[in-house]
């Protein structure tokens, strides 16, 4: 007896079955991540930010008064963004970050959050917290912990491939 279509197949309007459960799981993770990113972008766009810019602002704020080298920001991003200079240019144009050449190593550029950037992050935080809670509210805490561990195992394994 043929297996009925999965919910993901229906969502994707896919008539052929997935080649394997592994393929379906990978497509499901990518589709879910895309939905969450688009939800975040819809909320941030009204504030003049993309999710990448929001992530950069959080990283720069976390560096404190010492600032953070541009290359170190790239290493801490949630998702790789090839246009780090453009991201920082846009945030600098909005007066949310400032960049300075390092006094000890002129090849290095340090990034600092501005007061305007700090205030925007403080304003955004309740929105982000509420969005995250609503997006995952249907998952019981124990299942959420197991889900997080599963995703950690996947990332650890993929980094070794």
Q: Which CATH class is domain 50-127?
A: mainly alpha
pLDDT of residue 3: 63
Find residue 113's DSSP bridge partners: 97
Q: Which pLDDT score, from 0 to 100, does residue 78 have?
A: 85
Given a cut of 50, whether residue 110 has pLDDT beyond it is: yes
Residue boundaries of the structural domains of the chain? 1-45, 50-127
Q: What is the mean pLDDT of the chain?
A: 91
Give the predicted TM-score (pTM) of the model: 0.84
pLDDT grade for 2, boundaries at 50, 70 and 90: low
Tell me whether residue 155 is exposed, middle or buried, using C-beta atoms within 10 angstroms of its C-beta: 0 to 12, 13 to 18, 19 or more.
exposed
| Cβ count within 10 A of residue 140 | 9
Give φ, ψ of 99 to 5 degrees: -120, 145
pLDDT higher at 3 or 62: 62
Encode pLDDT of 64-103 as tens digits.
999 999 889 988 988 877 788 899 999 999 999 999 987 7
């Amino acid at each position: 007896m043929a297996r009925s279509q999965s919910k993901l197949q229906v969502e994707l309007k896919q008539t052929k079955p997935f080649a394997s459960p592994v393929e379906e799981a990978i497509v499901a993770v990518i589709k879910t991540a895309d939905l969450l990113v688009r939800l975040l972008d819809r909320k941030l766009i009204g504030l003049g930010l993309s999710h990448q810019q929001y992530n950069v602002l959080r990283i720069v704020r976390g560096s404190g008064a010492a600032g953070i080298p541009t290359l170190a920001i790239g290493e801490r991003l949630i998702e790789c963004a090839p246009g780090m200079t453009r991201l920082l240019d846009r945030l600098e144009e909005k007066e949310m970050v400032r960049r300075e050449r390092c006094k000890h190593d002129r090849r290095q550029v340090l990034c600092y959050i501005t007061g305007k950037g700090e205030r925007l992050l403080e304003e955004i935080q309740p929105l982000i917290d509420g969005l995250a809670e609503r997006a995952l509210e249907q998952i019981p805490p124990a299942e959420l912990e197991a889900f997080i561990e599963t995703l950690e195992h996947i990332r650890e394994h993929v980094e070794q491939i």
